[in-house]
């Protein structure tokens, strides 16, 4: 879908954003660039203060869901994970379509109830896994057959001090296990990628480490796993690396693939030679991936796609993360 062609169409469309953190800000910037009218739910003075840097005549602050129920085409839930369930239920009962940040929940306790509410009220639902819009994700899905894969290795590292505008503190939700903090939930994208590209994870064992004194969460996790397609693999996640990285290595019988998801580069290694994979050369920036996902979700709304596929896949990812926490 071409962004420029949607400008006039989206001018009359409205979105509710719930949250005021770094990811909410990125969504708001993308939405206004796409000509959406944006309503932001204020749950305290800090919300408006956090977002005051955004200057746009397309942004409106509201204090209650009652103020927007008939005005918005969908809502983006971008607050802490422990608050997702409550807002998903409220929005579904008001028949507002939902685009939810990952992970969907922190436990499986109310999954069946929420599934029923979404289905009964015909809610279009998606979870924001930005790697699903990545060029390399699509390349792997199209070109590498699961039956030829022997093993895979995924590595992702980001530093807490650099990946958000505000330095972490003991009050940061992503450092609080009760709110959904920790590297396993924060970097769940790789779990979603494995489940979707290589088959559902049926076995996983994880070693975890906590290196920050002021937090109660793990910031390093190293896992071994097996998928339903008999693919064995390792997953490394951390929130302490000075230099960010996101890589996938795929081992096949006669060749290896190495992908760098941040630089958007790929290479195939044969016994005596190597070959660069040709596709888009530009770096995969988070803002552009988020924008693609928003546009894909809007297409889902236009097509009236009420399937629960995204919801069920998000639950599958959650199940894996809960096993990693055991």
| Domain locations in the chain as residue ranges | 3-130+288-308, 131-279+320-325
Tokens representing 53?
A: 């840097």
On the question of pLDDT at 282 being above 70, the answer is no
Mean residue pLDDT across the chain: 88
The gap from C-alpha 23 to its chain's centroid, in whole angstroms, comes to 10
**Average pLDDT in the 300-324 region?**
97
Least confident of 42-51, 202-211, 305-314: 42-51
Domain boundaries 131-279+320-325, CATH class: alpha beta
SS3 189: helix
Superfamily of domain 3-130+288-308: NAD(P)-binding Rossmann-like Domain (3.40.50.720)
Cis-peptide, bond into residue 103, ω within 30° of zero:
yes
Give the model's confidence band at 287: pLDDT under 50 very low, under 70 low, under 90 confident, else very high: confident
According to DSSP, the residues that pair with 61 across neighbouring strands are 40
Q: Around Cβ 137, how many Cβ atoms within 10 Å?
A: 23
Q: Which helix (H) or strand (E) holds 292?
A: helix 286-302
Nearest to 154 by CA among 211, 102, 223: 223
On the question of pLDDT at 68 being above 50, the answer is yes
Least confident of 111-115, 210-214, 270-274: 210-214
How far CA 323 is from CA of 52, 216, 326, in Å, comes to 40, 18, 5
Residue 95 · residue 73 · CB < 8 Å: no
Give the model's confidence band at 62: pLDDT under 50 very low, under 70 low, under 90 confident, else very high: confident
């Amino acid at each position: 879908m071409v962004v420029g062609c949607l400008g006039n169409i989206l001018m009359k469309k409205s979105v509710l954003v719930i949250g005021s953190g770094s990811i909410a800000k990125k969504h708001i910037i993308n939405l206004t660039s796409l000509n959406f009218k944006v309503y932001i739910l204020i749950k305290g003075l800090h919300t408006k203060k956090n977002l005051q840097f955004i200057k746009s005549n397309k942004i409106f602050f509201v204090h209650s869901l009652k103020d927007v129920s008939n005005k918005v085409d969908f809502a983006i839930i971008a607050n802490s994970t422990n608050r997702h369930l409550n807002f998903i239920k409220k929005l579904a009962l008001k028949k507002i379509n939902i685009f939810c940040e990952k992970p969907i929940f922190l436990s499986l306790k109310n999954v069946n109830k929420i599934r029923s509410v979404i289905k009964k009220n015909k809610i279009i639902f998606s979870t924001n896994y930005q790697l699903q819009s990545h060029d390399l994700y699509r390349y792997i899905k199209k070109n590498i057959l699961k039956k030829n894969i022997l093993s895979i290795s995924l590595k992702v590292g980001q530093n807490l001090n650099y990946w958000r505008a505000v330095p972490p503190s003991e009050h940061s939700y992503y450092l609080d296990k009760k709110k959904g903090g920790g590297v396993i939930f924060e970097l769940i994208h790789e779990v979603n990628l494995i489940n979707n590209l290589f088959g559902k994870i049926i076995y996983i064992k994880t070693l975890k480490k906590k290196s920050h004194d002021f937090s109660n969460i793990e910031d390093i996790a190293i896992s071994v796993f097996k998928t339903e397609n008999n693919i064995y693999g390792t997953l490394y996640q951390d929130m302490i690396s000075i230099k960010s990285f996101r890589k996938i290595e795929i081992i096949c019988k006669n060749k290896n693939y190495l992908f760098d998801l941040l630089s958007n580069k790929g290479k195939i290694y044969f016994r005596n030679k190597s070959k660069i994979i040709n596709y888009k050369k530009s770096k995969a920036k988070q803002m552009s991936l988020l924008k693609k996902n928003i546009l894909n979700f809007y297409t889902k709304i236009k097509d009236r796609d009420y399937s629960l596929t995204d919801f069920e896949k998000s639950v599958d990812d959650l199940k894996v993360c809960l096993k990693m926490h055991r």
